[in-house]
C-alpha cells in the first residue's frame, strides 16, 4: 500500500460544509491555525503552530518606588482566539516588612486577578543572606502563573514592570520565562 | 470531498512544499508533528513526548548538607528540541527564622541562571503547613537524551525541613 507522507488540506477562508454523520474533518484556515468540524456542524480550534517564548536570565534589580520596565516585547502577528500566557520568574525583596510589586501588562492593561491593582504584590518575609548580583539577599522565591487572554488578530505588547514599596530597597527578579500559546 | 476512515501516513523528515492555498501536516521520524505551508516554512505543532519523574512521600532535612529528593535518570529518552521543564513540590519548615534551600540540575547543569532555585523561610512553622513551590524553565537539547534529574535540598540551619511529593515534568514545545 502506498501511503502519503502528509495530510495536505486546502486552506479554508470560512467554515467548510458539514461532513456526513459519524465523520469529522481537520483543516487549516486562513488565520494559520487548524480546526475540526464535526457532523453536527461544531467547528473547534484544534492546534496552532504559533508559540511565543521569551526568556531572560538577567538579574534585574531596582530600588525605585516608581515602576521600572523589566520586559517590553511585541508578539508576532497571531490569530484571534483564546490564549494562555505562562509567566514564571524568581524574585526577592530585601526587606521583611514591605512588598515587591510586579505587574504583567498586556496591551497596556495589567493582569489583576484579584482586583487589588497589581499582578503580584508580596512581602518577602526573609531578606537574609549575603546577597547576589546586587539583590542584597540570598532569598529565591518562585512565581508561576498562567494568565488567560482573549486576543484579537495581530500583534500584542507584553510588558513586566517592577517596583519597591519602600524607597531604596532592592526588588529583584530573574530567570523570566513567558510562554504564549493558543488554547481555543 | 474524499472521506477516509483514518489517515495513514508514512513518517518523513522532509516533504514537498504543498501547492498554493494548501497546508500539509506530517510526522517526522522523531515522532513530532509539523505543518508545512505553501511558502515552504515548517512549524512544530505538537509532540507525543511528555514525561515526568516523581518522588512521593516525605523527605526530612535536618542538615546543612545536601539531601537528595530526586537523583535518577528520567527513564524516557527526550528527542532533540525545546522543552518546558516544571519543578513542583510541597514543603514546610520548623522555624520561622531559617530557610529551606532547593537546588535543581539536569545532566548535572543548571537550567536557569544557577542550580540554586529556592531559598525561603516559612512564615508559620505550624506542623500542618504545606507550601507549594512551582517553577517552569525552558531547556533546549541538541541531541536525544535520557536526562539525569537531580532535585536536592539543604537547611540553612539544622532545623527540621520537610519536602513532600515532588514532580519534575517535561513538555516538548519546539523542534530542534
Is residue B3 over pLDDT 90? no
Closest B-chain CA to A55:
B138
Instruction: Tell if the CB–CB gap between A7 and B99 is shorter than 8 Å.
Output: no
What distance in Å separates the CA atoms of residue B52 and residue B82, rounded to the nearest whole number? 16
Let me know: does B98 contact B144? Beta carbons within 8 Å: no
Question: Could you report the per-residue pLDDT of A93-133, keeping only the tens digit for each?
Answer: 999 999 999 999 999 999 987 777 899 999 988 888 889 99
What is the pLDDT averaged over residues B7-24?
A: 91
Question: Could you report the per-residue pLDDT of B48-95, keeping only the tens digit for each?
Answer: 889 999 999 999 999 999 999 999 999 999 999 999 999 999 999 998
**Does A130 reach chain B within 8 Å, measured CB to CB?**
no
Q: What is the DSSP string of A156-184?
A: -EEEEEEEESSTT--EEEEEEEEEEEE--
The 3-state secondary structure of B57-124, one letter per residue? CCEEECCCCCEEEEEEECCCCECCEEEEEEEEEEEEECCCCCCEEEEEEECCECCCCCCEEEEECCCC
Instruction: Tell if the CB–CB gap between A175 and B113 is shorter than 8 Å.
Output: yes
To the nearest whole Å, the CA of B145 is away from the closest chain A CA by: 23
To the nearest whole Å, the CA of A167 is away from the closest chain B CA by: 23
Question: Could you report the per-residue pLDDT of A70-83, keeping only the tens digit for each?
Answer: 999 999 999 999 99
CA atoms within 13 A on the CB side of A122: 19
| pLDDT at res. A117 | 83
Instruction: Tell if the CB–CB gap between B35 and A49 is shorter than 8 Å.
Output: yes
What is the pLDDT averaged over residues A132-139?
A: 94
Let me know: does B9 contact A3? Beta carbons within 8 Å: yes
Q: In degrees, to the nearest 5, what angle opens at C-alpha A116 toward C-alphas A113 and A120?
A: 65
List the single best residue of A21, A142, A172, A177 to mutate versus B (max B Cβ within 10 A).
A142
| pLDDT at res. A1 | 53
Going from the C-alpha of B31 to that of each of A30, B26, B27, B80, the distances in angstroms are: 26, 10, 6, 11
Of A5, A126, A175, the CB nearest to B10: A5
In the block, which residue shows the cell 524574585? A91
Q: What is the pTM of this model?
A: 0.93
**Does A47 reach chain B within 8 Å, measured CB to CB?**
yes
Place B1 in a pLDDT band, splitting at 50, 70 and 90: low
Amino acid at each position: 500500500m502506498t501511503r502519503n507522507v502528509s495530510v495536505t488540506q486546502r486552506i479554508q477562508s470560512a467554515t467548510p460544509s458539514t461532513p456526513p454523520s459519524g465523520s469529522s474533518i481537520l483543516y487549516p484556515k486562513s488565520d494559520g491555525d487548524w480546526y475540526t468540524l464535526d457532523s453536527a456542524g461544531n467547528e473547534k480550534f484544534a492546534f496552532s503552530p504559533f508559540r511565543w517564548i521569551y526568556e531572560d536570565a538577567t538579574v534585574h534589580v531596582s530600588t525605585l518606588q516608581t515602576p521600572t520596565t523589566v520586559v517590553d516585547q511585541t508578539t508576532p502577528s497571531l490569530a484571534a482566539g483564546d490564549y494562555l500566557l505562562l509567566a514564571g520568574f524568581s524574585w526577592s525583596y530585601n526587606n521583611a516588612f514591605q512588598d515587591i510589586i510586579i505587574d504583567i501588562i498586556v496591551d497596556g492593561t495589567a493582569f489583576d486577578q484579584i482586583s487589588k491593582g497589581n499582578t503580584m504584590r508580596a512581602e518577602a518575609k526573609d531578606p537574609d543572606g549575603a546577597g547576589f548580583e546586587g539583590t542584597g539577599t540570598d532569598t529565591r522565591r518562585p512565581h508561576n502563573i498562567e494568565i488567560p487572554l482573549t486576543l484579537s488578530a495581530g500583534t500584542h505588547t507584553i510588558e513586566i514592570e517592577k517596583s519597591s514599596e519602600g524607597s531604596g530597597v532592592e526588588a529583584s527578579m530573574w530567570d523570566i520565562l513567558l510562554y504564549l500559546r493558543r488554547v481555543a | 470531498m474524499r472521506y477516509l476512515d483514518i489517515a495513514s501516513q508514512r513518517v518523513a523528515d522532509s516533504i514537498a512544499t504543498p501547492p498554493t492555498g494548501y497546508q500539509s501536516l506530517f510526522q517526522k521520524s522523531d515522532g513530532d508533528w509539523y505543518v508545512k505551508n505553501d511558502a515552504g516554512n515548517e512549524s512544530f505543532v505538537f509532540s507525543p513526548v511528555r514525561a515526568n519523574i516523581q518522588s512521593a512521600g516525605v523527605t526530612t532535612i535536618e542538615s546543612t548538607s545536601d539531601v537528595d529528593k530526586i537523583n535518577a535518570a528520567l527513564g524516557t529518552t527526550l528527542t532533540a528540541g525545546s522543552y518546558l521543564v516544571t519543578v513542583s513540590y510541597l514543603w514546610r519548615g520548623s522555624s520561622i527564622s531559617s530557610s529551606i534551600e532547593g537546588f535543581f540540575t539536569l545532566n548535572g547543569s543548571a537550567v536557569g541562571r544557577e542550580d540554586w532555585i529556592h531559598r525561603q523561610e516559612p512564615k508559620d512553622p505550624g506542623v500542618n503547613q504545606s507550601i507549594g513551590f512551582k517553577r517552569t524553565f525552558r531547556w533546549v537539547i541538541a541531541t536525544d537524551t535520557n536526562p539525569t534529574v537531580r532535585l536536592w535540598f539543604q537547611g540553612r540551619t539544622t532545623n527540621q525541613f520537610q519536602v513532600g511529593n515532588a514532580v519534575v515534568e517535561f513538555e516538548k514545545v519546539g523542534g530542534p
